Structure 1
Amino acid sequence: MNFNYLTGNFGIEIPASELTGMDQSTGQTLQNLWHEHELLVVRDLDLDTQAFVNFCSLFGELQQNYFFFQSLSEKYPQVAKIVKEAGEKKNTGGIWHHDQGYYATPVKGIALYGIDIPPGVAIPFSQVPRSLMSPCQAKCNR
């Protein structure tokens, strides 16, 4: 599968053309790439809600987030909308983050599907284990 590195070895971008005819074999390849690079980005992948659920299911069983968002619909309880309309004071998208320390068994990942992302909007991602290890390592090296 072809891909481009995003930054160093954190994250890769996979062309949408690589994902035509997705099946379990494609899913296994994507899982392996995800485990190795921690972040997968696919631009211009046109999915409806069912196709998004099918794509995400290639990585494992989907879970519902009960803490923060309302589900998109009863048919798709594992899909939630994160919306920030122009002029809206409440910035749900600005405070959204993925940590699940409050779950007995946290999910292994999260999938975001951008529908309307204005030009210049950055969606930051971080490597939590590395961000925690650096301060811990510094203390150990003292």
Structure 2
Amino acid sequence: MSRKTQKRRFGLPSAAFAVGLVLASLGGTAARAQELIGSYVAYIGQPDLFSSKGARLNQPWQILRQDRANFHRYGISQPGDEFDPFFGSIDNRGEMERMVMNGSIDPQAAKRLVQGGATVFVRIYGSGNTGTSLTVTVAK
């Protein structure tokens, strides 16, 4: 067997092994970046459907954000609302839109949430004190 043949024969598995190591290390980082860092249950009532200035909100993330502002900042809550340590921060509430966009909410669930009178279960994913996405489940 020639030296050139040996390189070809042994070079590909070595390259594949190196690529595998890189992918495995990246996969491990991505998995850690998406750990569950909090969750809460909330009832979306009439006060949650309107901004602090009285404007009707029409996007799920706006209503979720208002619900958390009502709970943490204004002391407005409905039976079933739970405390969460993450959205007590105004900065974290400011990230609500991005987190919903990076997460998931079923279109029908989003419609029920916008109508109000629904209970939401929100899971907050991220790393440490940094949230990256939300998953939202809605029950009417």
When normalised by structure 1's length, the TM-score is 0.22
Q: Which is strand-richer, 1 or 2? A: 2
Instruction: Choose 1 or 2 for highest CA Rg.
Output: 2
